[in-house]
Structure 1
Amino acid sequence: MVSRLQSIRNPLRVLTALFLAFVLVGCQTGGGPIAIGGPRVSGQSVDVAMLLPLSGAGGDALLARSLESAARLAAADVAGSATIEITVYDTAGDAATAAARAQEAVSAGADVIVGPLRSDATAAVGVAVANSNVSVLSFSNNTGVAGGNVLIMGYTFANTADRIVSFAARRGQSNIVLVHASNLAGQVARDAVRGAAARSGATISATIPYEFSQVGVVNVVPQVTEAVRNNSASAVLLTSDSAGALPLFAQLLPENGLDTGTVQLMGLTRWDIPPATLQFSGLQGGWFTLPDSGAAAQFNARYAAANGGQPHALAGLGYDAIRAVSQAAGSGRLSAGDFVSAGQVDGAGGAFRFLSNGTIERALAVAQIVDQQVSVIDPAPRRLGGAGF
């Protein structure tokens, strides 16, 4: 879990860690080649074991219920093509418990596992059921646990970096100063941005790490503005989120001489979650990515109608997992390779597909903050072509 920074002057105390997509934990499984030839699905019925932290700490239990509700909504949507039977197993938010529940599910005849939530539990589950060839569709976004029988569903730094950096390069904002925390999440984000820059032709003219603390952010701000000036940079890319260092950077960079009217601010995380983030004056005009707004609005409305309330920000991952299971089941098998070969899936947040290394590519829009509102300036593509966008 990412710890929060307390911003000076406390500009918006309502900022909370609602957006949990970047739950990067240091458990790695190596990301080897995906598995081929999983168990054959019997008839048109698919038994899905859903591993969720129903009794987990903090907000995990609430998220678990929302993921389950979204998954059941998807199961109803695909009922005409396949019967999806969902059995939920409580992981209690514990990796060892998740592994035990996964083995229990496989023994009970599960065709595929959906979940668990975090990467440490995902790594444990992947190992626990490796010999069964049962695929695991994890809600993690940690690409380090993908591969073998594990595919990840979360929004990854690599995917987001490719979208925002390639867009910036096309817009002529290709000389970028990259600012990241000196922790695991920050290092993964740094590497993702560097890879995206290499693929798009952009230049990372300076990479500036900072200690993940209030003092660390305050101390690094002059280095950022100096790097922009010394390298004639056209953009600054911040990897932090609203629950971390972003509010501080939004306040301090303009106060320390960064002209956001001439230097483009960009983010690797959602700047519209929570919505209060949009109020920061320092982020006005900034760019970030988000899912297809049309698809997301339709999903949110249908979820609310079925469940009497709005979904959690990550609930769409549960919906997407079941849609992917239904589409892959058409091949008669549900190995990781079958999920890849099934191609594009239309999900709660737009189109997505699994890649051959077990990671995921999602169609993302680029948005800009204009007058404290979200304005989509480059819509999410409806089709994923070639090797990327």
Structure 2
Amino acid sequence: MFAVLSAARKRLRLPRFARSLAASVGLIALAACEPVQLGDLGGGGGQRIDTSQPVPVALLIPKSDAGAGAVARALENAARLAVADLGTVRIDLRVYDTAGNAATAAAQAQKAVDAGAKIILGPLFGEAANAVGVQVADDNVNVLSFSNNPSIAGGNVFVLGATFRNTANRLMGFAAEQGKQTVTVVYPNNVEGQFGKAAIEAAAGTSGIQVVASEGFDFSQQGVIAAMPRISAAARQSDAVFLTSNAAGALPLLVQLLPENGIGPDTTQYIGLGRWDVPAQTLALPGVQGGWFALPDQSRTASFTSRYQAAYGSAPHPLAGLGFDGIAAIGALVGAGKSDALTARALTQTSGFQGTGGVFRLLPDGTNERALAVATVRGNKVVILDPAPNRFGRAGF
């Protein structure tokens, strides 16, 4: 069970890895360089390849970073699993250690390009990806980063990580289909919360839903308690409450206090920007019952997990699929046998690619769109309300 109201009123804490990602987002939000445009304005920037030879691909991961080494191993394992799936398509995967450092990542990227890399897969952290993009821009090389930070996307840098905007779009579109017209956004006053708030507000505008209020709170238990009168007052005027917090943050406390303040899930639709099935014990919280959240195609995720476990003897890290997806996209394009397979125009093909969580595609602005299912919680179990689309072009996708 979650101990959400401790006497000490401790500050809410994220796991170390999540904190380091959030810190990277904060640095980029303040100091990111402008995305560097490659090639012609039609999106043709990027290296040409010799289709008769193996294509050199550089994988940049933080292998020697004590806090992210396990993620790095999982990304490499998944990438190699994808390479093995490519059949006659030949990828020469070359691995470079960024040590979790932006300057090191930039130096390694240049080393990789000097050695012939035609495209870069990685790095993991947003600040490092930004540095790599700037470093190799004049070499006309595209970067498929594992980051989910949209502020670094654009030009020669694409982000493979799931973005808040993609999730918000899916959930707001579904809410509109269910007749929801108004929403209150609830978010912590930190970088992650600000990104989530902005994504939800933009998605609401696209879906025709009115944002009644966006209510922030200091990122502590006392901060949530102090903000609850404002949050509940706004929520009483709304069809739905959209929470940016996940189980590692304020979600358990919010879904406890909202009903205590007259905003119950039986009268107001709760919507979550984060995964409410991770960790699994979140599903036992009374306040999340009936709430909506988004998740990838679970059959495809389960298939990838099974294959990874059979190959490496353990379950994959939650981010491992990004390594597989990056190679799958590169391999699909190279397999078409065209010399411009790794240009921006090719990478952003509208049909997209098949990934570990379903179909996804890279967008011209450097962000991505991923197929997501909409789920709810019933009886402490996940129930799919609207399956993930299996192709692009369906209404609302």
TM-score, normalization by structure 2: 0.90
- Partners in 2 of 1:19 and 1:196 — Cα distance? 28
How far 1:26 moved relative to its partner? 3.1
The equivalent residue for 1:201 is 208
How far 1:25 moved relative to its partner? 3.5
**Match for residue 160 of structure 2 among 153, 159, 169:** 153
Question: Residues 30 and 146 of structure 1 are in contact (CA less than 8 Å); yes or no, is this contact kept in structure 2?
Answer: no
> Structure 1 residues 20, 47: closer, same or farther in 2, change over 3 A?
farther
The equivalent residue for 1:383 is 391
**In the alignment, does 2:384 pair up with 1:345?**
no
Question: Residues 33 and 356 of structure 1 are in contact (CA less than 8 Å); yes or no, is this contact kept in structure 2?
Answer: no
Question: Residues 31 and 358 of structure 1 are in contact (CA less than 8 Å); yes or no, is this contact kept in structure 2?
Answer: no
Q: Which moved more, 1:46-55 or 1:36-45?
A: 36-45
Question: Residues 16 and 274 of structure 1 are in contact (CA less than 8 Å); yes or no, is this contact kept in structure 2?
Answer: no
- Show structure 2 runs of 5+ residues with no match: 8-12
Question: Residues 287 and 369 of structure 1 are in contact (CA less than 8 Å); yes or no, is this contact kept in structure 2?
Answer: yes
The one-letter amino acid paired with 2:346 is D
The equivalent residue for 2:102 is 95
Question: Residues 29 and 146 of structure 1 are in contact (CA less than 8 Å); yes or no, is this contact kept in structure 2?
Answer: no
- Partners in 2 of 1:29 and 1:342 — Cα distance? 27
How far 1:311 moved relative to its partner? 0.5
**In the alignment, does 2:5 pair up with 1:8?**
yes
Q: Which secondary structure state, in structure 1, belongs to the residue aligned with residue 112 of structure 2? A: helix
Question: Residues 343 and 354 of structure 1 are in contact (CA less than 8 Å); yes or no, is this contact kept in structure 2?
Answer: no
Question: Residues 186 and 214 of structure 2 are in contact (CA less than 8 Å); yes or no, is this contact kept in structure 1?
Answer: yes
The equivalent residue for 1:62 is 70
> Structure 1 residues 155, 19: closer, same or farther in 2, change over 3 A?
farther
Matches within 5 A, 1:195-274: 195-229=202-236, 231=237, 233-274=238-279
- Partners in 2 of 1:375 and 1:29 — Cα distance? 42
How far 1:358 moved relative to its partner? 1.0
**Match for residue 171 of structure 1 among 163, 169, 178:** 178
Question: Residues 232 and 262 of structure 2 are in contact (CA less than 8 Å); yes or no, is this contact kept in structure 1?
Answer: yes
**Match for residue 45 of structure 1 among 23, 41, 54:** 54
The equivalent residue for 2:319 is 314
Question: Residues 19 and 314 of structure 1 are in contact (CA less than 8 Å); yes or no, is this contact kept in structure 2?
Answer: no
- Partners in 2 of 1:357 and 1:186 — Cα distance? 22
- Partners in 2 of 1:278 and 1:272 — Cα distance? 6
Q: Which moved more, 1:185-194 or 1:155-164?
A: 185-194
The one-letter amino acid paired with 1:115 is G
Residues 55-75 of structure 1 show CA distances to partners (whole Å, capped at 9, x for unaligned) of: 1132x1111111111111111
When the two structures are aligned, how many residues end up with a matched partner?
377
The one-letter amino acid paired with 2:144 is L
- Partners in 2 of 1:277 and 1:186 — Cα distance? 20
The one-letter amino acid paired with 1:131 is D
How far 1:195 moved relative to its partner? 1.1
> Structure 1 residues 324, 104: closer, same or farther in 2, change over 3 A?
same
Question: Residues 112 and 136 of structure 1 are in contact (CA less than 8 Å); yes or no, is this contact kept in structure 2?
Answer: yes
How far 1:284 moved relative to its partner? 1.0
**In the alignment, does 2:300 pair up with 1:291?**
no
Q: Which secondary structure state, in structure 1, belongs to the residue aligned with residue 27 of structure 2? A: coil
How far 1:337 moved relative to its partner? 2.5
Residues 203-259 of structure 1 show CA distances to partners (whole Å, capped at 9, x for unaligned) of: 111111111222211111221111122x2x111000012111112112221222211
**Match for residue 327 of structure 1 among 327, 332, 343:** 332
Question: Residues 139 and 154 of structure 1 are in contact (CA less than 8 Å); yes or no, is this contact kept in structure 2?
Answer: yes
Residues 127-184 of structure 1 show CA distances to partners (whole Å, capped at 9, x for unaligned) of: 1111011110000011111111111100001100100011011111231110112222
> Structure 1 residues 31, 280: closer, same or farther in 2, change over 3 A?
farther
Residues 265-309 of structure 1 show CA distances to partners (whole Å, capped at 9, x for unaligned) of: 000111111112111111111110000111111111111111111
How far 1:105 moved relative to its partner? 0.5
> Structure 1 residues 245, 6: closer, same or farther in 2, change over 3 A?
farther
**In the alignment, does 2:133 pair up with 1:126?**
yes
Q: Which secondary structure state, in structure 2, belongs to the residue aligned with residue 26 of structure 1? A: helix
- Partners in 2 of 1:41 and 1:350 — Cα distance? 28
- Partners in 2 of 1:303 and 1:18 — Cα distance? 25
The one-letter amino acid paired with 1:173 is K
> Structure 1 residues 20, 317: closer, same or farther in 2, change over 3 A?
farther
- Partners in 1 of 2:142 and 2:193 — Cα distance? 29
- Show structure 1 runs of 5+ residues with no match: none
The one-letter amino acid paired with 1:269 is G
**In the alignment, does 2:118 pair up with 1:111?**
yes
